[in-house]
Structure 1
Amino acid sequence: MALTSHLETLKKKHRDMSEAIDVAQRAPGIDGLRLADMKKQKLRLKEEINRLSN
């Protein structure tokens, strides 16, 4: 049960990060380093979700 809850939390964070990246990409004057950091965080979340799902 705890694993399922943790996976759902990670999935929500991944969705939230995806939305934040979309908003940031549309913003004028976006900091490229900040955007790259956000994408790396999103990738780490996806990797953790995949690792725990298998």
Structure 2
Amino acid sequence: MNTSNRMNEKDVLRVEVEVLKREHRDLDEAITALQERGTSDMLTIKRLKKQKLGLKDQIAALEDRITPDIIA
């Protein structure tokens, strides 16, 4: 089987990180837009911020799998 056409695990993780980062940016923009409008529901903003923090944690976990800390 030709392995040059297949993505290795790190490549897959990098793609996942980029997708999550895009979602994180989108949430950030949505939160900013809601706050600027001034008529937004604080509960909605709080939920979006919690979701954004969850994405940040997922991104950090995936990045750790890509480049783990090596104690020398």
Q: TM-score, normalised by structure 2?
A: 0.71
- Give the superposed CA RMSD: 0.7
Q: Which has the higher contact order (CA 8 A, sep 6+)?
A: 1
Per the TM alignment, residue 32 of structure 1 is displaced from its structure 2 partner at its CA by 0.7
Residue 22 of structure 1 is matched in structure 2 by 32
Aligned residue among 19, 35, 41 for 1:31: 41
Computing the radius of gyration from Cα coordinates, the structure with the larger value is: 2
| Structure 1: gaps of 5 or more residues | none
Residue 46 of structure 1 is matched in structure 2 by 56
Task: Give 1:43's aligned amino acid.
Answer: L
Q: TM-score, normalised by structure 1?
A: 0.93
Counting matched residue pairs gives 54
CA shift digits 1:13-49 (9 cap, x unpaired): 0011111110010113210100000000100000100
| Structure 2: gaps of 5 or more residues | 1-10, 65-72
Where 1:18 maps in the other structure, the secondary structure is helix
Task: Give 1:9's aligned amino acid.
Answer: V
Identity between Structure 1 and Structure 2 (%): 41
Structure 1 runs (4+) deviating above 6 angstroms are none
Task: Give 1:15's aligned amino acid.
Answer: R
